[in-house]
Amino acid sequence: MKILLLNLYYSPDTSATAKMARTVVEALSTKHEVTVLCGRPSYDPTERRAWRLFRSEMDGRARVIRTGSTDFPRIEMKKRMVNYLSYTMLAIPRALFVECDVVLAMTDPPFEGITGAIVAMLKGKPYVYNIRDMYPDMAVGGSIVKPGMLARVWERQHRWALRRATRVIVLGDDMRARIVDKAVEPSRVVIVRDGAEVVRSDISVAAADAEVVRAIRGDFSFVLLHAGNLGFYGAWDTLISAARTLASEGVGLVFVGDGAQRAQIEASATGAENIRFLEFFPASKIPSVLAAADAHVITVKRGLEGVVVPSKMYGILAAGKPIVAVAVEETDAVSIGVRRGFAVNADPDKPEELVSVVRALASDSTKTKRMGEAARAAAPDYDRVKELQKFVEVFDSLAAAK
């Protein structure tokens, strides 16, 4: 099949969707002909592109068409919106002239699912919608957009896009439940998890980088690590409050990463000596970052379960580390993690509950070890290669039905 993929970000952008889009393209290109319609690199890119209305380049087997969208840095939301709009205004008319059998859209910009549905309708082609984060639910739940007319119109258009989709690919059971609740036929909703690269047990793994481990652990006796985006979705106040209570017990809370809420989180942690903020480490150091912690934090604040699905869970499993899920029971990190024994959870609105959970874990090395073993045992079930094969199978089935 000839597949047209729509997403603003694509390599050399470094956003999570850019990286995942490229991974998906590599998998699809083994069987199908893929064209990516994206924008100029703007999300902390490793390289830039000079302005042209449209430019075409090859990325492996895939053809990449870049629109002449603006490329303002992502840190200013108003300018980021200009990137979104300039990309969309150029991408829709350009997409009409790209030969394809099916349209695939991801979720950058946040309304890309609607854009993809419009393009597919105008071209008279099947539509596959891969939801990475669910909008407008994410925007409203994260207090980015206030409830009101804009949110209602956005939601109505999003439901139309969902109904227009031949297949909706989601990241987990919790997100699938959300989509089905929007009156989407369950048989059209397919779960494809991000997964992680799982190293075979017969392959030796390099020792963790001592410098990275030292930077993260410091002199804490028990390290709780949150590595990843510090966005609008987390129960950050609960984490900070619990960490303050545990300060005298040798428990350290370490954040590795950046995001829209980092400054606010740092401000709320002022004066807490057991809370540390570090920048992202190079990609080659990620295994050492994962290995440095005693347990990892996954947090989704109440109301956003299934709206955002933290994919970092699978890397933590592959590293053989326990998870402390500060989230409600409906999230995959809790429903799967507690059942399989690699996670414990605390209510995202109850710091005292999180204190009890962490205190119990920090005082029981046998339990921590057992949870780590359960994590490593679960990891092969979420191998990225197997998950990508599920993604490819969606398009194989569409090709067979032609």
Look at residue 329 and tell me if it is in a domain: yes
Look at residue 201 and tell me if it is in a domain: no
Mean pLDDT for the stretch of residues 251-273: 95
**pLDDT for 142:** 82
**pLDDT for 201:** 63
Confidence of residue 205 (pLDDT cuts 50, 70, 90): low
* DSSP character string of 100-145: -SEEEE-SSSTTHHHHHHHHHHHHT--EEEE-SB-TTHHHHHTTSS
Look at residue 203 and tell me if it is in a domain: no
Confidence of residue 259 (pLDDT cuts 50, 70, 90): confident
Which residue type occupies 20? Answer: M
Q: Are residues 189 and 45 in the same domain?
A: yes
> The tokens 């903020």 sit on which residue?
277
For residue 339, give the CATH number of its domain.
Answer: 3.40.50.2000
Q: Are residues 225 and 329 in the same domain?
A: yes
* DSSP character string of 224-254: EEEES---TTS-HHHHHHHHHHTGGGTEEEE
The CA-atom distances, in angstroms, between 15 and each of 4, 19, 397 are 20, 6, 29
DSSP annotation of 284 reads G
Mean pLDDT for the stretch of residues 172-198: 95
**pLDDT for 161:** 97
Look at residue 373 and tell me if it is in a domain: yes
Beta-ladder partners of 59? 62
pLDDT surpassing 70 at residue 208: yes
Largest Cα–Cα distance of the chain, in whole Å? 65
Look at residue 318 and tell me if it is in a domain: yes
Mean pLDDT for the stretch of residues 282-303: 95
Mean pLDDT for the stretch of residues 292-305: 96
Q: Are residues 352 and 394 in the same domain?
A: no
Q: Are residues 130 and 176 in the same domain?
A: yes
Mean pLDDT for the stretch of residues 97-126: 97
pLDDT surpassing 80 at residue 203: no
What is the pTM assigned to this prediction?
0.92
Torsion-angle region of 15 (φ positive above 0: left; ψ -120 to 50: alpha; else: beta): beta
Q: Are residues 175 and 234 in the same domain?
A: no
pLDDT tens string 210-247: 999 999 999 999 999 999 989 889 999 999 999 999 99
Look at residue 100 and tell me if it is in a domain: yes
Beta-ladder partners of 346? 326
pLDDT tens string 371-381: 999 999 999 99
Q: Are residues 159 and 244 in the same domain?
A: no
**pLDDT for 119:** 98
Q: Are residues 227 and 363 in the same domain?
A: yes
**pLDDT for 68:** 97
pLDDT tens string 49-104: 999 999 999 999 999 999 999 999 988 889 999 999 999 999 999 999 999 999 99
Q: Are residues 15 and 142 in the same domain?
A: yes
Q: What average pLDDT is seen over the chain?
A: 95
Domain residue limits at 119: 2-195+383-400
Q: Are residues 249 and 137 in the same domain?
A: no
Confidence of residue 204 (pLDDT cuts 50, 70, 90): low
Confidence of residue 105 (pLDDT cuts 50, 70, 90): very high
Q: Are residues 264 and 219 in the same domain?
A: yes
Q: Are residues 255 and 377 in the same domain?
A: yes
Q: Are residues 190 and 334 in the same domain?
A: no
